Structure 1
């Protein structure tokens, strides 16, 4: 043939030896432990690729104008093979197969010039085949990336809804999150000038550097990030604040595992939505720091949490502390006036305020802490039944 790189006799011999050469290549592959450990169906697929490669080489030799022949080597291989074999292992398969053909050159070509042409052609075709393998793996990685993104979005959505079905378990396991622990959900706004893929890549990169696992999705105009291995939720929020808008980033409580993540997600979403009521808020906030704003927004869980964290400890410590807190707030922080109404010495009021700070970490000299305490007491008053002694139950006996 006028377009052939080698003579017809060589082509005929190569065609006759396709099966033998493929068998030789596979026998050489046995020295690799990873090949020996492949499942039977994957070994059969490897044999298919090796034979297709040699047959494709023969067809390409017959007419080099078929420049895309190398790309068809992997056409009949099942997609699962790209998951069973790494790109490095596939390139090793190409190398071993090419070596089998090279070793057989003296038997395939009679004349020295014919052998040289066959060797050069082998090198060219192996190069094209290696590029074809890289292309196949790139497409597979791209497809897996798209699928993983969809899967990630489904898992995050399930966390937001508080679902823990078998389907969710399976999807989480497919993403490597089946055993995720110390989970927290964070919410933040997108940064101006960045596309969604850019933000997602930036979040993942920042989390990876901080040794945090992250699932990221854009949900109703805000980014929801599910984090694992969280030791310090505020520090995790500061990592996200470097790539998200400082508007702020709100982090929910840390929960034991992914399937308890709904509680963290609800708190983070509620806190992020209510954070607009605190214009001077820090860049990173824990959802528990937004309890008053969440109460105003109608979050029942926040109402219960605020009473549990603030009012209950003061009640359990005795009525004096609750009454002192109410009185000091009513007098705008004036200690002398509060002491007169309580019929105690001003130093007693100072002592009780110190006890309040110890118990609930609120300083009445701080405007933000006064707001938290005032809201907690207001919720407590609303929730206290209005009976004949309701006022004394709220204020306490002096």
Structure 2
């Protein structure tokens, strides 16, 4: 089986098609300030089903509960551009692949010697990479659960805490370790290219790329975000700038979005750290490797041991406002309008009896998955 994924350049087909259509067939229709014309706004409203953020992110309740994990569920993710597949990982050493449609079921559960700290889908969904406290990143065939390769870190005894696929070349994975190493590995050979390891000052808890795969953002246990430059030609990493988010509070999640609304067209970072707030940054500078704080949203997240995570809502909106969603220690899932400074919370889902660790939308936003510290994964269904 080949581990190369030529489809890895695709992130969200709905957004890409609209943006490509706007930039090619109708480039002469763009207004001087860069706003997208009315026809595109109408197309997106038809896709999302409402012109109101609050109405559009109303959910009719719990669709299904998966209860296969016995410890903290560290991550939950829908597959890319796929309405049916969902996966979840846990500190009990399990990685589960589920089907949510037409009938919910757990396809298989993969066991690791130690806790699974996180995972990610390749962009073509043929592989799942898991990160484990045993010091290995493992590549699994997502169809049958067969382990394709186990990759050890460069430093013995270092747990693998986070990992992602390169957005353009899915044959390369990037992992972060408990020893502060950010490492690039070739999936096909298991080899780490020369110059492909960078060192930060603390355990690496979160990673994300920009859309082109040139700038890598790393969040660590001491509260710093570090930008690193990735060379697509030789897979080398070069350290850029370092930024403190909120004192020494761990940065537990970073996600990047190129364009989230007509009011926020600049690239943005969404960041969780254990300071009772969710942070939204603008990405600035000639190399797009510096950040400036745009605003914060209040959530309950004070425990450094809980790696609370968040995400941007996947559909690119031409309406006023843009939505982000996050877990919280109070057991709720919060939706915030990213463009509203005051009273930004537009919805809250309550169904968990423990802190909500991670959240994930499927690509058309018809379902949302959330997971908690007691082992439950809840799938929510949007109102028709």
TM-score range, shorter chain: under 0.3
Which structure is richer in relative contact order (CA contacts within 8 A, separation 6 or more)?
2
Q: Higher strand share goes to which structure?
A: 2
Please, what TM-score do these two structures have when normalized by structure 1? Answer: 0.19
With the length of structure 2 as denominator, give the TM-score of the two structures.
Answer: 0.19
